[in-house]
Amino acid sequence: MTEYGINNIVISSISHATEDEEKVLESMAYFLPEDIDEDDLDIETVESEGCFGNPIYIHKITLNKNKPAKKVFKRIMQLIKSNEKNINKLKKDIDSRIEKSKIYLRFDKQKAYLEECKLVDGDDVVRIIINFKIYIPKDKEKKVKEIVLNELKWDFELVKK
C-alpha cells in the first residue's frame, strides 16, 4: 500500500439562524474518530451574514498534525465504505473532486447528524478538504486518486477472504 502523509484536514459547515448550532457541530463531529484528542483540533466559529442579512455561523475544524489527520482520513473512508452508493459516487466523481494534492468531499449534513454517511453535491453539507503531503512536482492529482482508491478497495479485499 502506498505510504502517504497528510498536511491537514478541514471540516466545515454553516449553521443558519433557523438551525440548532449544536446539531450542526455534532454532524461535523460524526466524521471524527472517538479517540481523537481534542488538543489536535483547531475549532473556530465565525459569525457572518447571509444574502438577505440573516445571521449565519461558519464552523471549521482543522487538523494540522499528520498522525491525527490520518486517523480522521481513515474514519472518513470507513464511513464512505459503509454505503456502496457512496463508493460508486466517489469512484464516478473522483476526478472532479481532486485538485493538486487535495480532495474535496461533501456530505449530507442532516444525515451526518443522524450518523449516516451520504456523499452529495449540494449546499446544505459538511464539507471536508483533505490536503495530502505529496512531494512530486507533477501528477499530484493522480497520486491523490491512487491513495483514495487504494483506501476504498483495501477493505473489500479483506471482506472477500
pLDDT attached to residue 154:
57
Helices (H), ranges, the chain: 21-29, 66-81, 84-97, 109-113, 140-160
Per the model's pLDDT, the better-predicted residue between 98 and 2 turns out to be 98
Q: Is the pLDDT of residue 22 over 50?
A: yes
Q: Is the pLDDT of residue 29 over 90?
A: yes
- Kindly report the length of the chain: 161
Distance (Å, rounded) from C-alpha 83 to C-alpha 63?
25
Q: What pTM value is reported for the model?
A: 0.90
**Residue matched to cell numbers 482543522:** 62
Distance (Å, rounded) from C-alpha 104 to C-alpha 92?
14
Distance (Å, rounded) from C-alpha 59 to C-alpha 61?
7
Q: What is the CATH number of the domain that holds 141?
A: 3.30.1440.10
How many domains does the chain fold into?
1
Q: List the domain range (segments joined by +) for residue 96.
A: 5-160
| 45-87 pLDDT, tens digit each | 999 988 888 899 999 999 999 999 999 999 999 999 999 999 9
